Structure 1
Amino acid sequence: MKNSPIIVSAPGKVHLLGEHSVVYGKPAILAAVGLRVTVTVIPSAAEGVARNDGLDKIIEPIIKKHFKIKKIPSYQLSISSQIPIGSGLGSSAAVSAAYIAALLIFLKIQWDLNLVNNLAYEAEKVFHGNPSGGDNSTVVFGGLVWFRKETPDLKIIQPLPFTIPSKLSKNFLLINTGKPKEITAEIVGIVSSKVKNQKSKFEKLFIDQEKLVRELLPALSQSNEKELIRIIRKGEKNLEAMGVCSNYVKGIIRKIENAGGAAKICGAGGKTKATGVLLCYHQDKNKLESIAKSFNLPFFSAALGVAGLKTGWQI
């Protein structure tokens, strides 16, 4: 049992609505998505074990600083992921949370979800510069999450007391437009610059996004399909006005809308071509699949509102 593997997994996430505006203190609703990252840590006697693309150089310093640890014993690390990297599905948050939890177990440090969430947020800052904290909160706690950053040190993380009714959930589809040319930190920085230079415009956009986020709650809980489609469409238009959706992806979204559905980017977006995964909705999912095929894009269904962080005996 001494060298038994420590296995931890975490889901990806989608922004149902509120990305970008959430960085500026507005609320967002996120859902843990049924694609997972699994991290395995095995104690090792060998020194200098290869640990996976330098990820240890981000995660280990966070652990060392927080717990005032000088050296972490050797271990083997393996990571497997169902989440497309750079797709807007929170792969960095998921791998950070799972890796941190696995290391805490390895080091025999008492931990809880709040601790893992706080440490994963520190990792997200390394990856993305100025993240809201919504991604890591969702992958750690799972389900549907209401998230709002009041100040850098005060965040409201409220698991929602309902799941998406099957009448709606069965009609969502994820279409992968590809990995954006721009990294998340770059897009967040572009929006930040625009906010400074076009303050009035972006204040109006952020206020409207907050209104839509609040309207999304009853639309989801009451299975109001017409209202759900309206909210997704309007929210996407606001994201486009922020300049985070390429013309190529706008064309895909307009085709979905013209067919009677709705679609939106799920993460930071992209300015040139690909924007990562689109969250799409149509009461006839076959129409969404046909549109994806017409653009030669991969698509997949994934459950929304799944469980968050899981340790080995739960996986």
Structure 2
Amino acid sequence: MGVGEAHGKVILLGEHSVVYGRPALAAGLPRGASARAWDAEGESSLHVTPWDVTVTPSDERSLGKAFGVMLEAARVERPVRIEARVDLPGGSGLGSSAALGVAVLRAIDALRGVERDDASALEVSLAWERVFHGNPSGVDNAMSIAGGLAWYVRGEPIERVRTRRAIPLVIGDSGEACSTKITVGEVARQHEKNRERMEKQFDAIAAIVRNGRLAAEQGDLKALGQLFDMNQSLLAGMLISTATLEEMIGVARASGAYGAKLTGGGGGGCMIAVTEDRAGAEKVRAAIEEQCGKRAFVALLGGEAAGDQER
């Protein structure tokens, strides 16, 4: 048997502009996906819990197509049976499909005794991800592989970001499924229609990301929150926020968050908020659940306290 695990991800700053060569600040989440692989007879298969879905490479559904693409990209020559589990809500902007793909790849590699470096894992898992998202930036896959807090520029190796203190982050799920493929396409249409305006927007987001990295490194969470708010204003101007996300963001800010924004592709999915400490994060989490009726959890990112502390 081969076993594989992968992180979920959250983009702190830089959504969409990262597709156009600007940087993003992202982090791996403690929860993600896991998979086990065995040799099999007949056609390869993949079963995913809790979705309770089983596919084969000849399946016409997206998951089946992605599975077939991965087997081809990883040059898997004999049939395999995969049992996988995803511990992230699907279509939420937390990188569930990327985490699943990386976990499956790692399980297959472990079964076959293949040692694959991060660059190769990224290449193969991106073939899987393109089935779902068309033109992904690669940040989801990179963070699923590496975890931690990182500076990411498309086509370049990730750069680790060290923080002076842990970043208490509240992640709230709107319950509205989002499609990165659709929102990336919408932003692309805006870019084609008015390239000059959108390039200025992307440059403005890039400046926010650069300042966000400095704030994170220095442990200036108040400044980081202000940058969250600035980034959200630009993303909302691209028409990819929703009424539900805006409500959750407003509740987070009113409950003491330094700043809040959507995360991922938008059009639904999740929002994030940064607070001064764990106690403040728990207060914001409770407010989102009680006032908005939405699920939320707290994760500590960066610093010595990060990596395994989550609620």
Give the one of 193, 202, 207 matched to 1:206: 202
Query: What is aligned with 2:72?
Result: 64
Letter aligned with residue 285 of structure 1: A
Residue identity opposite 1:76 in structure 2: R
Tell which has more relative contact order, 1 or 2 (C-alpha 8 A, sep 6+): 1
Q: Residue 121 in 1 paired to residue 126 in 2?
A: yes
Find out whether 1:193 has 2:193 as its counterpart.
no
Hey, what does 1:100 align to over in structure 2? 105
Contact map agreement 1:7 1:38 (CA 8 A) in 2 = yes
Query: 1:224-277: CA deviations, max 9, x gaps?
Result: 12211110110111110111101232122123223442211111111xxxx212
Would you say the 8 A contact 1:34–1:304 is kept in 2? no
Q: Which amino acid aligns with 1:179?
A: E
* Equivalent pair of 2:27/2:143 in contact (CA under 8 Å): yes
Of residues 1, 8, 13, the one that matches 1:12 is 8
Per the TM alignment, residue 60 of structure 1 is displaced from its structure 2 partner at its CA by 3.5
Which among 289, 292, 298 is matched to residue 289 of structure 2?
Answer: 292
> Which runs of no fewer than 5 residues in structure 2 stay unpaired?
48-53, 56-62
1:276 equivalent in alignment to 2:269: yes
Which deviates more from structure 2 when the two are superposed, residues 291-300 or residues 106-115? Answer: 106-115
Q: Give the RMSD, CA atoms, in angstroms.
A: 2.0
Q: 1:286 to 1:38 in 2, by over 3 A?
A: closer
| Sequence identity percentage | 27
Amino acid across the alignment from 2:165: P
Which deviations, in whole Å up to 9, do the C-alpha atoms of 1:71-116 show, x marking residues without a partner? x323321111211111110011111111112222333334222211
Measure, in 2, the Cα distance between the counterparts of 1:65 and 1:159. Answer: 26
AA matched with 2:162: F
- In 2: Cα distance, 1:192 partner to 1:173 partner: 29
2:281–2:298: 8 Å Cα contact kept in structure 1? no
The equivalent residue for 2:59 is none
SS in structure 2 of the partner of residue 287 of structure 1: helix
For residues 44 and 11 of structure 2, the distance between their equivalents in structure 1, rounded to whole angstroms, comes to 36
Counterpart CA distance in 2 for 1:239 and 1:164 is 28
Decide which of 221, 230, 240 is 2:226's aligned counterpart: 230
Q: 1:66 Cα shift? A: 5.7
1:31 matched to 2:27? The reply is yes
Contact in 2 for aligned 1:85/1:179 (Cα 8 Å): no
Q: In 2, Cα distance between the equivalents of 1:133 and 1:163?
A: 23
Amino acid across the alignment from 1:196? E
In terms of mean alpha carbon deviation, does 51-60 or 86-95 score higher? 51-60
How far apart are the structure 2 equivalents of 1:145 and 1:49?
35
TM-score by length of 1: 0.84
Q: 1:65 to 1:120 in 2, by over 3 A?
A: closer
- The match for 2:135 is 130
Tell me the secondary structure at the aligned position of residue 36 of structure 1. Answer: strand
**Residue 125 (structure 1) shift:** 1.3
**Which AA in structure 1 matches 2:36?**
T
Query: What does 1:250-269 align with in structure 2 at a 5 Å threshold?
Result: 250-261=246-257, 262-269=259-266
Aligned pair count reads 286
CA distance in 1 between partners of 2:68 and 2:244 (Å): 39
- Aligned-pair distance for 1:142? 1.6
Aligned to 2:60: none
**SS of the residue 2:299 aligns to:** coil
Distance 1:248 1:60, change over 3 A: closer
Instruction: State the secondary structure of the residue aligned to 1:187.
Output: helix
Give the Cα separation in 2 of the matches to 1:163 and 1:43: 43
**CA-CA distance at 1:184 after TM superposition:** 1.5
Aligned equivalent of 2:242, options 232, 246, 259: 246
